[in-house]
Structure 1
Amino acid sequence: MSSLLTNSTAMTALQTLRSVSSQLATTQNRISTGQRVATASDNAAYWSIATSMRADNAALSAVSDSLGLSAATVDTEYTALNSVLGSDGNSGLTKLQSLLVEAKTAGIDRTKIQSEVTQIQQDMKNTANSATFNGVNWLSTTTATPTTVNLVSSYSRVGATPTTNSIAVTVANYSLYTSSTSGILDTPTSGVSIDNMNIGTLTDSSADQTTLDGYIAQVTAAINSVSSGAADLGAIKNRISNNSDFVKSLMDSVTRGIGQLVDADMNAESTRLAALQTQQQLGVQALSIANNSSQSILSLFR
């Protein structure tokens, strides 16, 4: 039936054109943003998951930064401990030990040996005082230095429960000098510490030889303590490095997961865009034809 008031064909063509235009707008938005799910209205479930995963990635990025700072701090303390230990035998505690053994030689000039001992003592203290990174020093401590330091190592979330793990560092294991003289090198034994021991006045007497034996034992114990501390820091250093690599890999994995949820397939979208543009053009043409069909009614009244 031909009607002047109701053009069913035009209405159908208009509905089709609206649908095509809506799909075309969606496709153009995906192409411009590169995302299939850009807002919650696109897909509430996927958008929610992607948002949570992005938040997790931000937390992992903070962990990665924290691990970098921790690595630098541990490396500074580790390097200083090795320097104090003097593993090359020409400095530090190992050199001090050899000088004390040399001082047991009968008739040797211990005053001259003491001048070298003094230089080693000062050098070790300077090294400990210089082992500072970002205001942190575990080798030369004060009452303000915390007894335990927690280095953030990982972050995870199960459901709505986040978990942050850390590496606990006991500062006393590496403290060489303290404000209360309770460090590895300044703790006195029978009133004498490695930091202030002096052999310049000792002689070949049995009593002084016994004193030297005590000094040697004291330095040997310090070497063992510093070696243990350096080994512990070395293990922590390796753990931080492994955690840092894992966190970076995990961030990449999360990023890929987010992409699989929300990223648009540009190959598919480009094909869909071409098809919709063609459909839009045909829809406009169909609507034009439908609108012109009403003109035929005029011929009935000529």
Structure 2
Amino acid sequence: MTYKITGSAQVNALAALRIINKNVATVQQQVSSGYRVETAADDATYWSYASVMRSDSNSLQNIHDALGVGASKVDTAYTSMESLIDQLGDIRKTLVAAKEAGVDKTKLNTTLTELKGQLQTTVQSTNFAGENWLLNRDPSLPTSRSVIGGFVRGTNGEYQAQTISYPADQTVMIDTTDANRGLLTKTVDANTLNSDGTSTARNYYLLNAGSTTAASGTEIALDANTTSEQVTDMLAVVDSLLSQLTATAAGLGTMSARISDRISYTADMSDVIDKGVGALVDTDMDEASTRQTALLTQQKMGVQAISILNTAASKVLILLK
């Protein structure tokens, strides 16, 4: 005859041990993976929030990297602008020297030609990541120079990029298609006073870059026949160009400051989002370690309890034989 003893104590002990074993496995998984909510099955709401926040954090990191590239582009253009301002200042000094009586204007023109060549070289060499903000070789002029500055989510959660822009017509120094679209190649009206007090509009341009559509007027240059009035006109043109160059450099400096602010912002915001994700799904290692120790103790006690109950049942079976 076979005897089967099913006591409530054994059943309860086994049920409790199964629950403890399951909890031990869960805590061990949380400790080993580092996640309290690893999949949607663990907590669909928190997992969904964390997934969106991770996507935002990744987007911010990409924007942070793109801002670094954009900052280098702006800094490259700004550095060249400073160099152009210095070179244009040297051109102005040369023209001022040309107003002195008895000076050899032909020799001064050699210096002037060299300085103009340096201007052109500076513009053509201002290249970063395949872009030259100071030189335009395209048939049409771009509306703006821009770098990515951030992103927002639309009403339906879609990704929408934001940019930091600067007008392209203010940064182009040389335009090989239309000279009048480049600051250093365009026609400038001197409109200075004559010796008799009358005003005459005289057009000059600084550089001849071989543009398809050339500038009108006279190129700024010196020779033995250059009059004092003409030098005055040239100085007026150079002063105008210096003023515009300074304004453009100031604008690029402001743009650089905005980019620096955005770089700091995206880095800080990415850290905040990562902390938020951690609060939602990461395992609290101190709590998990304490809980794991407690569950292992409970597991041992459960096994011992079942062992004691099985021993008692064995003694009963012996009596029944």
Q: Same fold (TM over 0.5)?
A: yes
More deviation in 33-42 or 51-60?
Answer: 33-42
- Deviation, structure 1 residue 161: 4.3
Contact 2:10–2:309 (8 Å) recurs in 1 = yes
SS in 1 for 2:205: coil
Mean CA deviation greater in 72-81 or 97-106: 97-106
Q: Which residue of structure 2 lines up, in the alignment, with residue 60 of structure 1?
A: 60
Q: Give the SS at the match of 2:69.
A: helix
Distance in 1 (CA, whole Å) between partners of 2:163 and 2:146 is 6
The alpha-carbon deviation at position 267 of structure 1 amounts to 1.1
Partner secondary structure for residue 65 of structure 1: helix
Residue identity in the other structure for 1:241: S
Over residues 156-215 of structure 1, what are the superposed CA-to-partner deviations in whole Å (9 max), with x where a residue is unaligned? 337724442211221110111111212111113466411142112334xxxx22221211
Q: Which of 126, 150, 160 is the aligned partner of 1:154? A: 150
CA distance in structure 1 between the partners assigned to 2:221 and 2:258 by the alignment: 40
How far, CA to CA, are the matches of 1:236 and 1:202 in structure 2? 45
Within 1, Cα distance between the matches of 2:117 and 2:154? 53
- Cα deviation code 1:114-141 (max 9, x no counterpart): 0110110000110010110011001121
Rounded to whole Å, the distance in 2 between the matches of 1:135 and 1:42 is 48
Instruction: Give the aligned partner of residue 89 of structure 1.
Output: none
Query: Tell me, what secondary structure is at the counterpart of 1:146?
Result: coil
> What residue ranges of structure 1 are gaps of 5+ in the alignment?
87-91
Amino acid in the other structure paired with 1:181: A
1:127 to 122, 136, 156: 122
**In 2, Cα distance between the equivalents of 1:299 and 1:188?**
117
The match for 1:172 is 169
Separation of aligned partners in 2, 1:301 and 1:209: 134
Q: Provide Cα deviations, 1:79-134, integer angstroms capped at 9, x if missing partner.
A: 00100100xxxxx1111112112211222110111011011000011001011001
Specify the SS of the correspondent of 1:25.
Answer: helix
| 8 Å Cα contact 2:5/2:313 also seen in 1 | no
Any conservation in 2 of the 1:4–1:297 contact (CA below 8 Å)? no
TM-score (norm 2): 0.86
SS in 1 for 2:153: strand
| CA apart distance, 1:264 | 1.4
Partner SS, residue 166 of structure 1: strand
- How do 1:8-87 and structure 2 match up within 5 A? 8-86=8-86
Q: Counterparts of 1:158 and 1:261 in 2: how far apart (Å)?
A: 24
Partners of 1:68 and 1:287 lie apart in 2 by: 65
Shift of 1:154: 1.3
1:261 aligns to what?
Answer: 280
1:220 equivalent to 2:239? Answer: yes
Look up the match of 1:188.
Answer: 187
Give the superposition deviation at 1:15. Answer: 0.6
1:275 equivalent in structure 2: 294
Deviation at 1:8, TM superposition (A): 2.8
1:201 to 224, 228, 231: 224
Unaligned stretches of 5+ in structure 2? Answer: 189-201, 208-218
Q: What secondary structure sits across from 2:121 in the alignment?
A: helix
- Which position in structure 2 is the counterpart of 1:140? 135
Q: Distance in 2 between matches of 1:158 and 1:215?
A: 53
User: Does residue 249 of structure 2 align to residue 230 of structure 1?
Assistant: yes
1:284 counterpart = 2:303: yes
| SS in structure 1 at match of 2:163 | strand
Give the counterpart letter for 1:199 in structure 2: L
Tell me: higher relative CO, structure 1 or 2? Use CA pairs within 8 A at least 6 residues apart: 1
Structure 1 vs Structure 2 CA RMSD = 1.8
SS class of match (1:264): coil
1:7: how far off? 3.5
Return the offset for 1:291. Answer: 2.5
Percentage identity across aligned positions?
32
Query: Take 2:288 and 2:134, find their aligned partners in 1: how far apart are those partners?
Result: 61
Distance 2:153 2:276 in 1: 15
Query: Secondary structure at 1:154's aligned position in 2?
Result: strand
